Chain A
Amino acid sequence: MDFIRQFWVVTIKDLRAEFRTKEALNASLAFALVILVLFSFAFDAADLEQNAMNEISGGLLWIAFAFAGTLVLNRSFVRELPNDCLDGLVAAPISRSALFLGKAIANFALVLAVELVSLPVFGIFYHVRWARQFPELMLVLVLGTWGVTIIGTMTSALTVNIKLREVMLPMLTYPILVPALMSAMQLTTRLMAGDAIDADTGLWLKMLIGFDVIYTAVSLLLIEVVLIG
């Protein structure tokens, strides 16, 4: 019970700090919209057949989500640097995994919020009927976002005190995210085309769940080393 209360305090603290300044949220949202607009120059959306658009929609969305998410994740631990807040947090009488989980959940909520705004915008811009399999799509969105957040929060903790911080975070995050992003892209594309989850797509779902479970467990186990050394 203590553990739940501990990480919840950290989550609420992070969300409150973020909503007071909105620095990461605004930047991330604006960036997501810019990427969505840029896609229209990568291919001629007016000429593209609807089938072709459906084929690439999952990929486009998750590229936008992953890039925009980095802006939120980059701030996660950096926000604690002024006034030595990070030292205070690490010294607090809570387990480091509770601290990490609290931060991860706060990041998750922020990244998910950006995604939930971008999704209808994407649908309107590119004439994609995205809500045909709504509950399944939300499940994929939640699982994929958790994968992005758990890796991103870990790399945020790893890179907070090193040089080239802003360069290193995407360098570390994207390669390791490939299995999760790949699964999420495949699933999103199928679900947006209106297909239900069958045996074939079920395999991608299993991979996504496996990714989330394994990396969450390993992160909680190893965060102690990263924060304390």
Chain B
Amino acid sequence: MGKEAIYGAGAVSAVLLGWGGATMLRLPAGDASILVAKIVFFYAPAAFAAVLAAAVSLAASVLFLRTKELRYDALAVSATEAGLIFLAVNLVTGCIWGHARRGLWWTWDPAISSALVCGLVYASYLMLRRAVEEPTQCASFSAVWSIFCFLDCPIAIAAVYRWRGQHPHPALWAGVPSGWLAALAWNTAGMLAMGVAIVLLRMRQEAVERELDSLRRTVHVI
């Protein structure tokens, strides 16, 4: 995949997210409850993208274990890193929202804490990668661990829908003005395009890194 795809996905994401942001700013301020409802523009798309990234890294890890092709390993690590970025966007915007709404930056709500735990679990995946030196072993160990990590995600997702806490139930979004939903969809598409750009860029890096590593080994042999 060439540079064009990376620039293309990046440009698409910039346009879509820029437009989404502009739409959000142009919306009538309304009362306080409408104002805080603006959270859906970036917070929710980031959450969707993070879940999708986790699913992609699971699929890539399973594919790696099946085929032992290192490009699937590169996809798994790229998707995990992109997912962690999205999760960070999600948590940080959530904190800002919580502060605007209740004056607290953080609450120990099941949905929020399980999302944070999910992030910590995937952080351990990245730590594991750094600790294993041999590339093939690193890839298969991290594929196993990625599957372990993914098993934590259903809890985080279920917590949003089923576990009553401070986190608003997604059904509340039915009260969101109908015109906003289109912008929500655009922003989700924009986030996903950004995710694609990040993943492509990181996969390129991984490929280059692998090439460097093999060159270094060759030189070492000579």
The residues in B between 117 and 145 inclusive whose CB is less than 8 angstroms from any CB of A are: 117, 120-121, 123-124, 127-128, 131-133, 136-137, 140-141, 143-145
The residues of A that contact B148 with a CB separation of less than 8 Å are: 151, 154, 176, 215, 218
Asked if A226 is at the interface of the complex by the 8 Å CB criterion, the answer is yes
Would you list which residues of chain A between 176 and 216 have a CB under 8 Å from chain B? 176, 178-179, 207, 214-215
Residue B155 at the chain A interface, CB threshold 8 Å? yes
Contacts of B123 in A (CB 8 A): 175
Nearest residue, chain A, Cβ from B130: A164
Q: How far is the CA of A151 from the CA of B145 in the complex (A)?
A: 11
- Asked if B120 contacts A175 (CB within 8 A), the reply is yes
Q: Closest CB of chain A to B158's CB: distance in Å?
A: 10
Most chain A CB inside 10 Å of its own CB: which residue of B128, B132, B144, B151: B144
Contact B131 A168 (CB under 8 A): yes
Q: Which residues of A contact B151 (CB under 8 A)?
A: 214-215, 218
Instruction: Tell me if B117 and A172 are in contact (CB < 8 A).
Output: no
Q: Is the CB of B147 within 8 A of A222?
A: yes
Separation in Å of the A117 CB from the closest CB of chain B? 30
Report the Cα distance A151→B214, complex, angstroms: 34
Please report the C-alpha to C-alpha distance between residue A223 and residue B144 in the assembled complex, in whole angstroms: 9
For residue A162, which residues in chain B have a CB less than 8 angstroms away from its CB?
131-133, 141
Residues of A within 8 A of B152 (CB): 176, 178-179
Query: A85 interface residue, CB < 8 Å from B?
Result: no
Would you give the shortest CB distance from B32 to chain A, in whole angstroms?
Answer: 34
Give the number of chain A interface residues (Cβ < 8 Å).
23
Report the nearest A residue to B137, measured CB to CB: A229
Query: A119 in the interface, Cβ–Cβ < 8 Å?
Result: no
Assess the A229–B145 pair: CB atoms within 8 A.
no
Alpha-carbon gap, A38 to B136, bound state (A): 43
B131 and A163 contacting across the interface, CB-CB below 8 Å: yes
Bound CA–CA A158/B144 (angstroms): 9
B65 interfacial by beta-carbon distance below 8 Å: yes
Additional A-B contacts beyond A178-B152, A179-B152 (10; CB < 8 A): A162-B133, A162-B141, A168-B131, A172-B127, A172-B145, A175-B123, A176-B121, A214-B151, A226-B140, A226-B144
Give residues in B with beta carbon < 8 Å to A.
65, 117, 120-121, 123-124, 127-128, 131-133, 136-137, 140-141, 143-145, 147-149, 151-152, 155
Chain A residues in the interface with B (C-beta under 8 A): 151, 154, 158-159, 161-164, 168, 171-172, 175-176, 178-179, 207, 214-215, 218, 222, 225-226, 229
Q: Can you list 23 contacts pairing A with B, beta carbon distance less than 8 Å?
A: A154-B148, A158-B145, A159-B131, A161-B137, A162-B131, A162-B133, A162-B141, A163-B133, A164-B131, A168-B128, A171-B127, A172-B127, A176-B121, A176-B124, A178-B117, A178-B121, A178-B152, A179-B117, A207-B155, A222-B147, A225-B140, A225-B143, A229-B140
